[in-house]
Amino acid sequence: MYDDVLVPTDGSTTSEAAVEQAVSIAEGAGATVHFLHVVDIGTKMSAGATGSIAPQLTETLEEAAESALDEAASRAESAGVTYERLTREGDPHEVIEAYCDEHDVDLVTMGASGHSGVKERLLGSTTDRVVRSVEASVLVARP
């Protein structure tokens, strides 16, 4: 049923729950999991406007991306699941939608809200946009 499962991850608690669910699904289905971290261009551009802090913020964003992807990859490896990992820059929901189209993703598994999410919201804005824009099924994970 599922050959390719995409997990957009930012290292938040809800994205970690999405990683767990995606790996479990992939393990049972023999699917490949694609771990994707999107560096939000808006955040990076804001950093550029502040001058000297930009390199530090960029480095922090890159470290966060690697850490989130390392954790996800470790979970997949321990389950014996085939995976790919990558980082892209852009508007998160647009990058996720394009990735789904490019790789014929069957299922997107993502957290209900990420680091920027407000707990009082039903869904984070990126998750909401992805649910509305991709053709693949979307599983919304909660911790």
Residue 136 tokens, joined: 């693949």
> Residue range 77-89: average pLDDT?
96
Q: DSSP of 35-89, one letter per residue?
A: EEEEEEHHHHHHHHHTTTHHHHHHHHHHHHHHHHHHHHHHHHHHHT--EEEEEEE
CATH of 4-141, one of 3.40.50.12780, 3.40.50.620, 3.40.50.10860, 3.40.50.720: 3.40.50.620
How much is the pTM? 0.84
Strand, coil or helix: 115: coil
- Average pLDDT for the chain: 86
> Residue range 77-105: average pLDDT?
96
CB atoms closer than 10 angstroms to residue 132? 10
Strand, coil or helix: 90: strand
Pairwise CA distance, residues 134 & 85, whole Å: 20
> Residue range 89-114: average pLDDT?
93
Domain ranges of the chain: 4-141
41 closest CA partner among 19, 30, 52, 57:
57
Residue 15 tokens, joined: 């994205």
